[in-house]
């Protein structure tokens, strides 16, 4: 009976060590809180807005981003867009290109709301390019949105982000 107990104890110890090593090999995915800050538009406002209107380039908002693998993340959030409307977004980030230790570059695709000239402000497809600069706790997302004819000019966006947890 003692031999069976020792064998069972040994098996449980090995299983526990194995699950601990497995959990350490797969840490919790990083969660980031995103603060939408600003945008810069690179075409004439007269091509995209009514006479006398101008783009709002201060775009406050909040979001959350979770990165379940180094190249894959999703982000959801809210911001005041460049035409003074509320926008919601849900985006998938794929960043396969790593530049140095702290920079990843790739694309983002998903849906966005709040642009009256684009699907009447309803849910519409969205996408662009993203560069993520991430330290241990703080980072920034630089977002490039290419021009969509008669809808929006080439635009550069900025988010500041803070990592949650350890």
Q: What is the mean predicted confidence (pLDDT) over 144-157?
A: 89
Give the pLDDT confidence score for residue 24 in this predicted structure.
Answer: 53
**Is 20 a residue whose pLDDT tops 70?**
no
pLDDT digits (tens, 9 = 90+) for 22-36: 445 567 889 999 999
Query: Model confidence over 23-72: pLDDT tens digits?
Result: 455 678 899 999 999 999 997 778 888 888 889 999 999 999 999 998 99
Q: What tokens appear for 121 in the block?
A: 């402000």
Number of Cβ atoms within 10 Å of the Cβ of 70? 11
Q: What is the pLDDT of residues 84-128, one digit of tens each?
A: 999 999 999 999 999 999 999 999 999 999 988 888 999 999 999
- How far apart, in whole angstroms, are the C-alpha atoms of residue 115 and residue 155? 14
Q: Which two tokens stand for residue 110?
A: 């998903």
For residue 153, pLDDT over 60 is answered with yes
Mean pLDDT of all residues belonging to the chain? 86
Q: Is the pLDDT of residue 139 over 90?
A: yes
pLDDT at 21 over 70: no
Q: CA Rg, the chain, in Å?
A: 22
């Amino acid at each position: 009976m003692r031999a069976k107990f020792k064998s069972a104890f040994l098996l449980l110890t090995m299983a526990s060590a194995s699950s601990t090593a497995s959990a350490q090999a797969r840490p919790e995915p990083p969660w980031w809180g995103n603060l939408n800050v600003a945008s810069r538009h690179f075409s004439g406002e007269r091509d995209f807005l009514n006479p006398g209107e101008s783009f709002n380039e201060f775009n406050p908002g909040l979001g959350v981003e979770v990165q379940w693998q180094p190249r894959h993340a999703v982000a959801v959030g809210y911001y005041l867009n460049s035409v003074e409307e509320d926008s919601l977004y849900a985006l998938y980030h794929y960043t396969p290109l790593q530049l140095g230790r702290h920079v990843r570059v790739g694309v983002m695709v998903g849906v966005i709301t709040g642009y009256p000239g684009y699907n009447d402000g309803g849910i519409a497809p969205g996408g662009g390019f993203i560069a993520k600069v991430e330290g241990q706790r703080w980072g920034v997302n630089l977002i490039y949105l290419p021009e969509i004819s008669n809808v929006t000019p080439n635009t550069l966006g900025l988010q500041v982000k803070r990592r949650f947890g350890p």
